[in-house]
Structure 1
Amino acid sequence: MASELATAPPPVRPRGRVERGGKRRLSYPMILLIIAGGLLLLSLVRAITDTGSLTDTRQWGSALGLAVPIGLAGLGGLWAERAGVINIGLEGMMMLGLFAAGWIGWQYGPWAAVLAGIIGGLLGGLVHAVATVTFGVDHIVSGVAINILALGVVQFLAKLWFGEGAAAQAGGNDKQSPRMDEMPTFTVPGISDALRSIADQGWFLVSDTAGILGAAVTNVSWITLLAILLFVGTWWVLWKTPFGLRLRSCGENPVAGESLGVNVYLYKYIAVAVSGGLAGLGGAYLAVFIRMYQDGQTGGRGYLGLATMIFGNWRPGGVAMGAGLFGFMDALQIRGGGPTVHGMLLLFAIALAGLAVHQFIRNKRVAGTVSGVLAVLLFLWYSATDTMPLELVTASPYITTLLVLALFSQHLRVPAAIGRSYRRGQGT
């Protein structure tokens, strides 16, 4: 027996990284291949439908801008839920950040508005942390309460502070704050003009890629750059540092973390406070974008942020991809993209057909059949119509959210201890 073990060949390890439970994570070459396939698909659909806005720099610039508040909310949810705290209150924290930014911004400028928005959202996060971590309130109940409370608070304070006195004289009223100064944007000289010139040539794939890349170097907000740095910083802090390992242990097994000396309460407080600050920054972005606080401006983006977090499997890269998708669909309906949304039917049909083939290859026949049927229905819808009703165009971001969550919900790994009430010493 010993001689057999000695002469046996070593076990073959699968290439790529494998997550707990045997699920293989995507390697970086595979991610690049998926991105290249997505660009090719966009170019193909653009050529078939003759819908130039699919790869237009202005369309993608709007999509990038609209993805920022959704992505920041999703990133905030990631921080809280990686520490084991469900944060349904992201929408309310965005409202607090939006209001604080509008209040401070018209008096001290856009950068002060950004700081005020972060503080406003952070205060909402601390309220959620006190309720859930200290007092053990059900996380869903606390989050819903914060959303309701934040809506009432900002509407009451708007009447009190913007509808009277100096604010009213400066253009404020019960529904909005006075306008703040505009935050300048930046354009990368040379590169922006070169990409625009290539995009205008109409070359298949090359011009489409140039049009999309042009959105990243033309009239970009400084807050967008800050958001990108926060995504990279979150990945590094949570996955590459001892602090991040301790924080994530609170969402996986807080009892084991406590036995190793982790102050679970402290890490949960930090995570939820950061979560609120990021959501508040998303609200501040909206205020700076339109240069004022406006009632209802968040428009459910906190809930879309939750959807991006789930779609992204509680990872920063996935959250960024989900935010980009929902931001693109949001930009379509804001820019009145009825023909473009109609062209998206063909794009989704082709993508679902490819997904169906992939699922059949992996012997997931039920899922493959569902994806195939959806692909056929979308293709028939596209073939039988020339445009989309305005109501469906307006609802397209939310319909996309439901479809994406329905298709990808089977591939998620939720933090093991998420939503569970924890008390110090409960494992002894």
Structure 2
Amino acid sequence: MSAVLDKVRAGGLKPAGGLRLPHYLLLTAALLVLLSLVRVIDGANDVTSSGTVSAALRLAVPIFLAGLGGLWAERAGVINIGLEGMMILGTWTGAWAGYQWGPWIGVLAGVIGGALGGLLHAVATVSFGVDQIVSGVAINILGLGLTQFLAGLIFNTGEAKALGGGPRQSPPVEAIQTLTLPVLSGGKIGDWQSPDWLGALEKHHWFLVSDIAGILRGLTSQMSLLTLVAILLVPVSVFVLWRTAFGLRIRSCGEDPYAAESLGVKVYRMKYIAVVISGALSGLAGAFLVTVAAPLYQDGQTGGRGFIGLAAMIFGNWRPVGLAAGSLLFGYTDAMNVRGGGEAVHALLLFVAIILVAVGVRQFLRARRLSTLPDLAIENSGGVERRAVRGAYIGVVLSLVAAAALVVWFLLSDTVPGELVSFTPHLTTLLVLALASQRLRMPAADGVRYRRGEAR
């Protein structure tokens, strides 16, 4: 039994796929150079502008927070597709408290509202053994219906209505303060107007230098304090889940709850804690929407971000750093839709085409490596290696054909139709999950119904 927990402990420290920090840094640098090259070729300066980066970060945070909530629950073995409903609860409670007592009280109320949704999910799934998918769907429906009812009951009467509330929206909520680094990104301190060194570099549109300046300025200009809190949650979650005994107990419940039970772990308690934290993080995502992204609660405000957060969590292989990268990807494509429009997305056609060529080359090298295995090893694999070789060659063909189609599209057009631009974030979700599916490893007991004392 202890071997299971040793595996959990060891597996949590090794990055998926064998990659280390230097590999990630090199990959990031290569993508940045490629993005800068595409910008110069197409002249779409919004691709790496500070405004686009700032918008991408703002759009990525609620996705990340919802996905982080899903990660906590699933690391404890409980599937939580009720993230969307918990986010909705967070938006309403955050706006209700925020317009009366200030944005930070609104954030706290949003966290509590989401946590109550998580507690309901924990009671249904952990205590009563309700199917986790059914419970999550029920919470999504409940969150939507309950907030619509409460909005009409509270925001459409009395003082709230006089302040601008209505049956589908709350009165305005004060926005949370923002931070700007002086000298580097401008800003004003008292009567002193700070220089904007990064902004000056960005305006030159030089290859790579202006792109780096634009990205850094987007990260250091007008950043909300709540965005900074969300960024700090990445190392905090990594430390708690992978460097503490408490995190080990949480993850052991998601890998083998019966082995954890035999070693004295209180599995029910750990699952309850993880699912309530999951709901609280989703509620924080909802509070972010009403205190940073928009100054009030509106019906339908979450826009499916809870489900996109689940996709980002899967893309990140149930790890906070990977989840943050996936959230930034989805936020960036959404920012392209909001700011750059068809011209910016047109530049990304060439970017994606080059990425697909790289994927094709990698698949080809993998196929060649597998095809050089000794015949005995192939026979012992029961045909698995042969199927892997065929799959790799099929992947090569599909990647190159898709890349060629995108290059032709790029050369024969100057922009991308608006209908496709608005669909870009959802298309990105599908493509990322398809490309990432081969390297994923979910917790072994994720979604498995656990009853104390039962035999496996």
Amino acid across the alignment from 1:298 = T
Structure 2 letter corresponding to 1:394:
S
Instruction: Quote the residue 2:74 is aligned against.
Output: 81
Q: Which runs of 4+ in 1 moved over 3 A?
A: 17-24
Which amino acid in the other structure matches residue 70 of structure 1?
I
The alignment's TM-score, normalised by the length of structure 1, stands at 0.94
Q: What are the equivalent positions in structure 2 for 1:222-237 lying under 5 Å apart? A: 222-237=225-240
Range with greater deviation from structure 2 (188-197 or 276-285): 188-197
Q: Secondary structure at the match of 1:416?
A: coil
CA distance in 2, matches of 1:334, 1:175: 24
Residues 367 and 79 from structure 1, CA distance in 2 versus in 1: closer, same or farther, beyond 3 angstroms? same
Could you tell me how far 1:356 is from its partner in structure 2? 1.2
Partner of 2:304: 300
Structure-1 residue corresponding to 2:94: 101
2:242 to 229, 239, 243: 239
Structure 1, gaps ≥5 residues long:
1-16
Aligned pairs (5 A) from 1:7-406: 24-192=17-185, 193-289=196-292, 290-335=294-339, 337-363=341-367, 364-406=392-434
Q: Go from structure 1 to structure 2 and tell me whether the alpha carbon gap of 1:413 and 1:197 turns closer, same or farther (over 3 Å shift).
A: same
Q: Quick one: distance in 2 between partners of 1:166 and 1:303?
A: 35
AA in 1 matched with 2:427: I
2:77–2:446: 8 Å Cα contact kept in structure 1?
yes
Residue 18 of structure 1 deviates from its aligned partner by 8.4
Q: Post-superposition shift, 1:124? A: 0.5
Amino acid corresponding to residue 335 of structure 1 in structure 2: R
Offset of residue 200 of structure 1: 1.9
Cα distance between partner residues in 1 of 2:404 and 2:11: 34
CA distance in 2, matches of 1:335, 1:223: 22
The range that moved more, 370-379 or 49-58, is: 370-379
Deviation at 1:21, TM superposition (A): 12
Pairwise CA distance, 1:384: 2.4
Is the contact between residue 19 and residue 25 of structure 1 (CA under 8 Å) also seen in structure 2?
no
Q: Equivalents in 2 of 1:303, 1:18: separation in Å?
A: 27
Write the deviation string for residues 277-302 of structure 1: whole angstroms up to 9, x where unpaired. 11110110000121111111100000
Amino acid at match of 1:378: L
**CA distance in structure 1 between the aligned counterparts of 2:434 and 2:270, rounded to whole angstroms:** 32
1:19 offset after TM fit, Å?
8.4
Deviations 1:162-185 (CA, angstroms, capped at 9, x unpaired)? 011110111100010001222220
Whole-Å separation in 2 of the counterparts to 1:24 and 1:141: 33
Per-residue deviation, 1:366: 2.5
CA RMSD of aligned residues (A): 1.7
1:215 is paired with a residue whose SS is helix
How many angstroms does 1:338 deviate by?
1.3
Contact 1:18 1:24 in 2 (8 A): no
Mapped partners of 1:226, 1:20: distance in 2:
24
Change (3 A) 1:21 1:172: closer
Could you give the per-residue CA deviations for residues 373-427 of structure 1, whole angstroms, max 9, x where no partner exists? 2222222222222211111111110011001111111110011000010001113
Task: Give the distance between the partners of 1:186 and 1:340, measured in 2 at CA.
Answer: 28
- Check the 8 A contact 1:188/1:218 in 2, yes or no: yes
| Structure 1 pair 271–209 and aligned structure 2 pair: CA distance change class (3 A) | same
Which AA in structure 1 matches 2:356?
Answer: L
Query: How far apart, CA to CA, are the structure 2 residues paired with 1:40 and 1:336?
Result: 20
Q: Distance in 1 between matches of 2:212 and 2:254?
A: 40
Q: Deviations over 1:234-284 (max 9, x none)?
A: 000001111111100000000000111100101111111111111110110
* Conserved? CA contact 1:83–1:248, under 8 Å: yes
- Give the Cα–Cα distance (whole angstroms) in 2 for the partners of residues 250 and 45 of structure 1: 46
CA contact (8 A) 2:46 2:339 kept: no
- Is the Cα contact below 8 Å between 2:13 and 2:242 reproduced in 1? no
In the superposition, relative to structure 1, how do residues 325 and 22 fare at CA in structure 2: closer, same or farther (>3 Å)? closer
- Distance in 2 between residues matched to 1:198 and 1:335, nearest whole Å: 21
Query: Would the alpha carbon gap of residues 251 and 214 (structure 1) be closer, same or farther in structure 2, given more than 3 Å must change?
Result: same
**SS across alignment from 2:18:** coil
Contact 1:57 1:212 in 2 (8 A): yes
Equivalent pairs, count: 412
Displacement of 1:304 in angstroms is 0.5
1:20 deviates by 11
Deviations 1:84-142 (A, max 9, x none): 00010000000000000111111011111110110010000011111110111111111
Unaligned runs of 5+ in 2: 1-9, 186-195, 368-391
Q: CA deviation at 1:197?
A: 1.9
CA contact (8 A) 1:97 1:282 kept: yes
TM-score calculated relative to the size of structure 2: 0.88
Aligned partner of 1:129: which letter? A
CA distance in 1, matches of 2:429, 2:159: 42
Contact map agreement 1:311 1:408 (CA 8 A) in 2? yes
